[in-house]
Structure 1
Amino acid sequence: MKPKIRLATAYDIDAVFEIEKLCFNKLEQFDKNFFYLFLMRRNFEIFFVATIEDEAQESKLVGFIIAYLNKIGNYEIATVNVHPDFRNQRIGLELMVELEKAIKIIIPELVKSKKIDENSQNIIIELTVHDKNDTAIALYDKLEYKRLETIPNYYQKGKNGIRMIKSLKLK
C-alpha cells in the first residue's frame, strides 16, 4: 500500500515521537521539543509524515522525515524514521523521493532569499546513518548518496555514523 506523504502538523507530534522512541534508544532519540521546533521555524525546513489507511479506513502515521537548510547552504536530513511494523514497504523511499521533490520546489525561494546562488546547478543533501543500519544504507545507496566518512562514536560510544551526501541536480 502506497503511503500518503504530507506536511507534518502539531497534531502529528505525539505519533512522530512514539515512532522516534521505537527507532532509537533513549540516549540517541530526539526529545519531543525537537519536533515542535521544526514545525515552528518554517525557514526552509521540510517536515513530512507518511500515513497509510488501516482496515477501518483510519489514517495511521507510519513514518516521517525532517530536513533543514544548514549554515553552508546544504540540505541536511536530521532524521528519517519508519515505524518498525511498516518497514520494507517503500515508505522510507517515498519520504526521500518527496523530500527531493520539495527541495526542487523550494529553490526559487532559496535564490530569492540569497540562501543559494541563482546560477546553482545543484544542491547538496547530507545525512548521517548508523553504520550498522544496513537497510537504510542500502536505500541511500539506491538513491545515489555517496559515502564521505565514518564518524566514530557519532551516536554514542561504539556506535559510529556514516556521513553521506548527494548532489541533487536542480535543472
Structure 2
Amino acid sequence: MHPRIPQQAGRDQGVRRDDNDVPLGAELAAVVAGARRRAVRDRDRHIDTAHLLHSLLESDPGVRAVFEAAQVARLLGYLVQRSIGYGLRWQTAVEESGALPGAGPAEGCSPLAALALTRTEERAGRHGRTARGVDLLAALVADPEARAVQVLEHAGIDARELSARLAREPSGDGASSSR
C-alpha cells in the first residue's frame, strides 16, 4: 500500500515540486519534511499551508523573529490544538483558492501549498539569494484564502499587515523591529 503523502526526496537533493522545477534548499526541505510528517500524523490528505506554517514556526528562528513572543506562543498553541483535533479542521477538503492561478501541484501538497513553494523560490530569486523561511512565510500569507492566513487571524494576527511588512523587508532581516 502506498502512503497517502509521498515520501520526501533525500535532504541533500532538496524537495522537487515537478520535473521542470529547481529543488528547495536543505533548510526549507526540512520544513517541508516536518510539514509532511505533521500531515501524516494528523491524517490529512495533503500538506497544507497551515502545516507549512507550523513547521516553519517550530524550526526557523528567523520566522519566529518576525512575530512578538506572545504571538508565537499563541500561534503554536493554536496549531498544536488543531493537530490534536481541536479548532479548525480541514481534513475533508483540499486547500485551494479561486483567487490565484494554480501551480503544478507539489507531491503531496494542496494546490495553495504548492503555489506557496513556487512563490518562495521566485521571491528569493528576485532578491538574488537562496530561499529562506521568511520567503516561505511571505508566500503563505499572500493568499487570503490560505489556511495559514486563517490560523494567523484566529491567533489575532493581521495577515494583510504581515504580508505588507514582509514585502517592505524582503530579506527578513529586522522584520521584527517594524512592528
TM-score between both structures, scaled by the size of structure 1: 0.29
RCO comparison, higher one (Cα < 8 Å, 6+): 2
Structure 1 or 2, whichever has the larger Rg, is: 1
TM-score between both structures, scaled by the size of structure 2: 0.28
